[in-house]
Amino acid sequence: MKLRKDFIVVPVLRYKGETPNEKHANWLELLFDLIFVAAISQLALNLSGNYNLITFLESIPLFFAIWWGWAGHTFYLDRFGTDDIFSRIITMVQMVVVASLVVNVKDALTTTGAGFAISYAILHFILIGEYLWVGRKIPEARPLTDRYSKGFFIAAMIWLLSAFVPEPYRFGMWGLALIIDFLTPFTAGEIHINFPPHPTHLPERFGLFTIIVIGEAIVSLVFAVSNAGLNLYTYLIGLMGLIISFTLWWEYFEEAGGAEERVQERGDQIAKYNLWLYSHFPLMLGVVGTAAGIKHVILLKYGTDLSSSDAWILCISLSIALVSLSLIFISSFKWEDCKSRLLLLFRIPYYLVIVMIVATGFLGSIISGFMILMILTVLSIVNVIISLRETPEEVCNL
């Protein structure tokens, strides 16, 4: 039997900093995103079931691990992906591993920590194998792939070994592995400039992932209303939850331009690209935390006060999302322009809304959860209204 010519295609650098060819996310990439969102959904269920500060803080490193695992594969495909048959099979194998993560992430801090660590290590080893393959076939990419392979290998081994270490030392090893994971791309420094991400494909992938996370939040709110029983109280809370979700979508795609073309520049301007990139993690965390808080309010009886800590988590989650959106917006400007008085004055109304959202946390245990959610909804709508202003020409020219 003769295999198809596209069974194995030698990897090539997809974008070389020239005029970009049109490139969009393919169907398998979208399926890959959905598998990762399933893991985020499991963590969101944990937070919804135990909506308190401890659970929220415990979820942050797990959220980051899931998001970082997705980002690592996404960057690889953006730079070197070939979409051949073998590459698709490898991606499907990664999905199986991610499915194992989904199964284990719910109780990762208790009974299934070993399974979570092993699954995450295997996900790393597959990515390392892909980078080694690229380094072998594209010699000029070896300075980048070697650094990635070494750093990710050290992190993967720590993840693997942690599966055989008892708590709480296991969690310390996870923290160390995540730090190594996070710092590994920075060791490449200016080498990244020689292998830039695609200016339209990568923002599209991040935009699609963001919209799926927001969509998952909307679905969870609809199910929460259905499970609580449809009445005027739950209907209004569900409606306010949907409005907040819609405003977050608006702020990301219309106001911040999160999915618009991004070009990685040289010198100190590379930092603004990293600002755009890493701002997506707190955005995701804020969206999930806000949705979990709204679901928590749905379960409260009408007129019941939201505890002080619960109110703070809800308000801080929404403010984290809005701060992230502001950072994504600012990342479109050069560093020196970010200090411009014109830009600062233009953004002041957004910052005032964020301050008021945070201040709403002081109303916990004073007014009902319904009223707190109403205030947050009104402030979210105000934020969208502010975004309808015409951007001054002076700011556009920055």
Which residues, 6 or more positions from 365, have their beta carbon under 8 angstroms from its beta carbon?
Answer: 305, 306, 307, 308, 311
Separation between Cα atoms, residue 352 and residue 365, nearest integer Å: 24
Separation between Cα atoms, residue 275 and residue 267, nearest integer Å: 14
Q: Is the model's pTM score more than 0.75?
A: yes
Of 50-54, 168-172, 369-373, the one with minimum mean pLDDT is 50-54
Give the pLDDT of residue 313. 93
Cα dist. 35→49, 81, 241, 277, 335 in Å? Answer: 22, 19, 24, 21, 36
Give the pLDDT of residue 307. 82
Mean pLDDT value across the chain: 86
Give the pLDDT of residue 170. 94
Q: What is the mean pLDDT of residues 122-139?
A: 92
| Tokens, residue 311 | 């109110």
Of 176-185, 188-197, 236-245, the one with minimum mean pLDDT is 188-197
Contact 210, 157 (CB under 8 A): no
**Domain boundaries defined on the chain:** 27-194, 202-259+268-389
Neighbours of 2 (CB within 10 A): 5
Residue 381 has pLDDT above 80, yes or no: yes
**Residue pointed to by tokens 């964020």:** 354
Is there a cis peptide before residue 197, judged by omega within 30 degrees of 0? no
State the SS3 of 265-328: CCHHHHHHHHHHHHCHHHHHHHHHHHHHHHHHHHHCCCCCECCHHHHHHHHHHHHHHHHHHHHH
Compute φ and ψ for 368, nearest 5 degrees: -70, 160
Beta bridge partners of 368: 305
